[in-house]
Amino acid sequence: MTPPGAPRIVFLADAGADVGGGHVMRCLTLARALGERGAECAFVESRAAAPILRRFGWPGQTMLAMTDAEDLAGLVAYARDFAERLAADVIVIDHYGAGAAEDVALSAMDRLVVAIDDLANRPRQASLLVDPGYGRRPEAYRDLAPVDALILTGPAYALVRPEFAAARSRALSRRAQHGPVRRALVSLGLTDVGGFTGRVVGALADALGDIRLEVVVGGDAPSLPALSDAAARDRRLRLWVNTAEMASLMADADIAIGAGGSSVWERATVGLPAATVILAENQRPMIEQMAAAGLTLALDARAPDFDDRLRTAWSALVSDPGLRWRLTQRSAELCDGHGAARVAEAILR
């Protein structure tokens, strides 16, 4: 039971075939941390977000408010009205289309607006802004946010589910043994934008050797039919559909081919050496900076020679234990997996 007088918090997160489910997943992570601290959390359930919320939410701890609105203006209007009916104290918005106008609309009744973002490319009017991007400093928002806004930046505030922090010690201890590569993970987002997961698995098929490939997709992934056929023919391939076991999969994998979204911080928490695929243009600056700093290998999904570059990166990860260990050490230093707790405490303060 939620205690009387507990803060009420409404979440509005973007989702869809083009943007994936990362916004919803990190909001669910923050809601979980807030719920553990006594808050009552509710989500605006758009059609795009509904499958993710219903698969990865937890009954009894989050409420869902279904809306037929699909455009941002409709979602914001619904979220504002729902927050008023709920007498919510806070609205958290995680949407790349949202800016100052949406923040102002949501802040009616002196409600606290929390914006989760990692672009720093447009004005905001939120009271608290969270940007976990690599290398991001509060100064990036000097001319974009109110002067009295609290700005939390950097991977220390990455919204990573607690299962990853729980698996961190075991994963890092195993990696320190410098064993050979036996298991690899391919995880490019549950929505499998552009069916890219199937392309990656196909490009690696002749390079696997004895390595087992764990492939993660969502139930509506365009690649799923072809991947199911490939897994039926090749015992080295194992499919995980809509799995909730990502922390264990990442902790037990030796290398990974991963997407450039929020899963970057999940891999970093367990020190998983990876080649990170830039699937969207807004991912490019951070992933290229991380690659330059020796935190990951970077692959551009739009490169005409992507398949060749993928196989080269795969070969480097498999054959060079020194490279794997450097990637493990440097990425694990970035993120400890406790960012959600830090953000939750800041909101409640």
pLDDT number for residue 67: 85
273-297 pLDDT, tens per residue? 999 999 999 899 999 999 999 999 9
Q: What's this model's pTM, rounded to 2 decimal places?
A: 0.93
Topology of domain 162-334, CATH: Rossmann fold (3.40.50)
Domain 8-153 has CATH 3.90.1150.10: no
Q: Which long-range contacts (CB under 8 A, 24 or more apart) does 195-202 make?
A: 195/221, 195/222, 195/223, 196/223, 196/277, 196/279, 196/301, 197/221, 197/223, 197/227, 198/222, 198/223, 198/226, 198/227, 199/223, 199/307, 200/257, 200/277, 200/310, 201/227, 201/230, 201/237, 202/230
User: What whole-number percentage of the chain has pLDDT above 90?
Assistant: 84
154-209 pLDDT, tens per residue? 999 999 999 999 999 999 999 999 999 999 999 999 889 889 999 999 999 999 99
Per-residue pLDDT band for 271 (boundaries 50, 70, 90) equals very high
16-59 pLDDT, tens per residue? 877 878 899 999 999 999 999 999 999 998 888 888 888 888 65
**At residue 102, does pLDDT exceed 60?**
yes
**Averaged pLDDT score across all residues of the chain:** 94
**At residue 2, does pLDDT exceed 70?**
no
pLDDT number for residue 190: 86
pLDDT number for residue 82: 94
Mean pLDDT over 209-213 rounds to 97
Q: Is the pLDDT higher at 61 or at 27?
A: 27
Domain definitions of the chain by residue range: 8-153, 162-334
Mean pLDDT over 76-102 rounds to 96
253-270 pLDDT, tens per residue? 999 999 998 899 999 999
Fold equal for 8-153 and 162-334: yes
User: What whole-number percentage of the chain has pLDDT above 70?
Assistant: 97
